[in-house]
Amino acid sequence: MSSVDEPTGGGPALHVALHDGFEGWGVEVRVNGRDVYGKDEVWTDPRIGLADSIDVDTADRPATVEVRVPDLGITGSVTVVGRAMRYLGVSIEGGMLRFRQSAVPFGYA
């Protein structure tokens, strides 16, 4: 599976960023039931707090984003609604997935 789902011009892209806490585990991401990302080892770069990112064309519809980390047995999901919240950060904290929605791009050092 490709790690990037290129926007096709059908609407604004949803930017999903894997942030802190990824320490070499496999990660899978689905958007609206469709597999859009899968890697066997995902590592956070501690200098910038970013492991990887993906842009997904959601055709300006609500997007349900499901993230799975099978190695840890954790799954989480969130629904992003509206044009304003086009950025989604995902971190692993305390053995749980944490989601952060934003109207503006995330900054990395």
How far is it, in rounded angstroms, from Cα 50 to Cα 17?
7
Whole-angstrom distance, CA of residue 69 vs CA of residue 28 = 7
Are the beta carbons of 94 and 48 closer than 8 angstroms? no
What is the reported pLDDT for 85? 78
Q: Is the model's pLDDT at 1 over the cut of 50?
A: no
Tens of pLDDT, residue by residue over 26-47, are: 999 999 999 999 999 999 999 9
Tokens of 89: 């950060």
Q: For the residues 10-25, what does the mean pLDDT come to?
A: 88
Q: What is the pLDDT of residues 48-79, one digit of tens each?
A: 999 999 999 887 788 999 999 999 999 999 99
pLDDT for residue 93: 96
Taking the CA atoms of 83, 89, 93 and 95 in sequence, report the sign of the dihedral they define: positive
DSSP E strand stretches across the chain: 13-18, 23-31, 34-43, 52-57, 63-69, 74-80, 87-93, 96-102
pLDDT reading at 9 higher than 80 = no
